[in-house]
Structure 1
């Protein structure tokens, strides 16, 4: 008899059970009660053995006529973050289902898996399976299938347009900015060598991003061929979008008479800051107005010049900083008196030319809205790190960029909700999802329950107006 069986017998005797006998037959352990009674024929005791049941190391004692209790396998998934993602994606999912009927589930899986950070295709399945399947979908997360999905999505231009039109229809004012992503693939004909703000001379794919001033949300993205400094290249990216609602906020790299003329011919509103050496600074513009922008005093004025309007601003704080720098350079002998005088004339000043006629403060705030789009670009680049290096062709680039854009959309929705709750100063979207992941769902096959919500998570959920109260539900 094995030690575990001997120990069980000892425990029963300590409980007062007597006359127990354990037999091992064909590797199985059986329990009997052995007693004796008087046998009249033999004039002596006769052994009486009664079968009680089986004894197993796993289930313990199993009485006669009963079966071993079957322990249902349990699965544990991250519930809090999955439920929040499902809630934030609820408005978009039906449109994805309509636009991409054969691959929308894989797109959703990619969005949910990659929203929390760097996730190559081969890790999507593991990341997806950690989440509670709130939407009840069954995506195929095999890396090869996901790669084919990206290519198929990238080639379905009409379906992408349907999503862009849905998103842009919710905004009355759109702003536009440009950036790039690097590509190390020799087969992507969109990629061109060029210098950039990062000082690298590498093949890069130019990206145009539209964002909404009304919702602080990205609404459209384009991968562009050719030079992004050529406005004619941008015209094609505006197809399918109501240009009456678009204001192109461009950087100084677009400054040229040809670009200004083309934008006017296309009847597209634009805001374009002038270079500091622009001769347009010589035009006299009286700074008759003032306003405050983030507690900074701004003097402002405007002047029409043909069909366009010049807007001049002087940031008092910026002017003070620049004046100190200019005089320091003069004191160190790095500039002469004439250069000092010229630079002092433009210290703290920003000159903008625009097709819009509006109060100077409105134009200034539109110009500063580029910060929002630049922030969107930074987040977008972080979200698409996983597969950017080796994209085989232009179609896969389009698909990769589009899915990355959807991740950005979901990220910004979460960020806006955090901002509305007043938590943005100390909580990021990734940080929020990490905290919510502490709430799990436990599924035993016949029953599903949600684990207790930690106090800190419950407090955050209440501020977000997110219902995360644990409930017990049958499956």
Structure 2
């Protein structure tokens, strides 16, 4: 005897039957007899008894959720798309996503995966359309997840379980790899979320926002940590909290790659204090950078300093960092020197662009002064670059501080990196450019995963949805990295590749093994290029 589920398409009700197999002596074939025992409650997964005509009878609930021993039989005949979801299944096994989700969310991990699959494949559709997609695709949960149920799922994802998942994923990253760190802003229409504030919006939206921080493995190309913070917190203020959380999570041998927005003396001291390795962009206006550029002088475009691989002129120097550590328990400041490597890079095209930008900026400052519409934030620059005189008769007259302007001109074409570990300037720049994976990932979150503007108004729902979006991002990041490594982007867009696989069908029937639909040679090759066990191409007759 087996339990069979059958959906009535007219009413949308799933009926549950007891199916008993027997041998028909007259027709000499196996037959089955079905007996209606109830209807499936879509919210609880329980069977509600009926009177045999589809009506509810009494209050007794039959629990069919207890798994039977042995293989789980297919309950009804289906023909579903599964080429793309099969790819995600394989990625989940290889990257440990499936195992780690099962460990952290034993009751809900399949729902999390199914929603993540949906978000990737149906990037332009809201989550309310999940039911339609679920009827057409084979996916881990195998059932519809109504809007109310998805909200409950998001609210059930606790901070403790999220942190457990981060720990497990981080253990799968190579200890020697650098971690690219960056932030982005997510606009929101909500007036109730506490962390939605007006701040520097990186998309140019005039809406309040919350910010996301993200850590990416430099070699793996996969994210393994994120945090939501208030929208008015600048990048430079996030490092101290990042350091505390990495320590709380038990991460060891931390190596961070960050852009110049995260540079400050306090942040560098905090990283030194925790013995973290780092590579960070910095301004050429800092004293030690200006001094090094002045030393280089006219040698900045000498061929001996040219690197053909980078097509840049490169320079490096060991400097002493003035380290300071406040010790509240002693009430003093510990001071000392720490070794650091300063890398400079010069490009003649950047020199021309820097000159044009600076001249336009000077024009804007000059206009502000002469028009009387001075900007308070620019007062320091007015005094630095201009000698301003004002008389009742002649009005405002300007002269220029040529020495200050020449100091800026000397830095045209240069950019700088700092590291307490990477000595080689070529290696340093290669590592620094890995930050691109974070910027691309933010683009995927906002565009591919439909997170450019958040409509969620509940704190717990938003936290849970962000986590599921993050899980989806891991799958996307794996695919994107493999596509770049194997040159698949020359043939497909991300959307086009997934569409190419999503047409592959799977036919299932009770009591029989699933039957794979037709697979083309080019589809088989896509699986191979993405590093997964392929669905084999259908042989020609």
Q: What is the TM-score when the length of structure 2 is the normalising length?
A: 0.65
Are 1:369 and 2:434 matched, yes or no? yes
CA distance in 1, matches of 2:452, 2:434: 30
Are 1:269 and 2:277 matched, yes or no? yes
Match of 1:165 in 2: 167
Match of 1:314 in 2: 345
How far has the Cα of 1:338 moved from its partner?
Answer: 5.8
Match of 2:535 in 1: 468
2:186–2:452 CA contact under 8 A, matched in 1: no
Are 1:430 and 2:495 matched, yes or no? yes
> Is the radius of gyration larger for structure 1 or structure 2?
1
Distance 1:107 1:234, change over 3 A: same
Q: How many matched pairs?
A: 399
Are 1:280 and 2:283 matched, yes or no? no
Pick one of 220, 226, 249 that aligns with 2:257.
249
How far has the Cα of 1:377 moved from its partner?
Answer: 1.7
Q: Secondary structure at the match of 2:135?
A: helix
Match of 2:147 in 1: 143
How far has the Cα of 1:437 moved from its partner?
Answer: 1.6
Match of 2:78 in 1: 75
2:523–2:537 CA contact under 8 A, matched in 1: no
> Structure 2 matches for 1:28-107, cutoff 5 A?
75-90=78-93, 91-107=96-112
How far has the Cα of 1:100 moved from its partner?
Answer: 0.4
How far has the Cα of 1:319 moved from its partner?
Answer: 3.8
CA distance in 2, matches of 1:327, 1:109: 51
Distance 1:434 1:357, change over 3 A: closer
Pick one of 203, 206, 211 that aligns with 1:206.
211
How far has the Cα of 1:244 moved from its partner?
Answer: 4.0
How far has the Cα of 1:158 moved from its partner?
Answer: 2.1
Note the aligned Cα RMSD (angstroms).
3.5
Match of 1:229 in 2: 236
Structure 1 gap ranges (5+): 1-64
Match of 1:452 in 2: 518
Q: Secondary structure at the match of 1:199?
A: coil
How far has the Cα of 1:229 moved from its partner?
Answer: 2.7
CA distance in 2, matches of 1:384, 1:275: 34
1:193–1:204 CA contact under 8 A, matched in 2: yes
CA distance in 2, matches of 1:386, 1:247: 29
Q: Secondary structure at the match of 1:132?
A: coil
CA distance in 2, matches of 1:253, 1:205: 17
Match of 2:198 in 1: 193
CA distance in 2, matches of 1:312, 1:197: 28
Structure 2 gap ranges (5+): 1-25, 32-75, 322-337, 367-384, 386-399
How far has the Cα of 1:393 moved from its partner?
Answer: 3.2
How far has the Cα of 1:123 moved from its partner?
Answer: 1.2
How far has the Cα of 1:165 moved from its partner?
Answer: 1.5
How far has the Cα of 1:392 moved from its partner?
Answer: 2.8
Distance 1:124 1:367, change over 3 A: same
How far has the Cα of 1:470 moved from its partner?
Answer: 5.6
Distance 1:125 1:324, change over 3 A: same
Distance 1:214 1:326, change over 3 A: closer
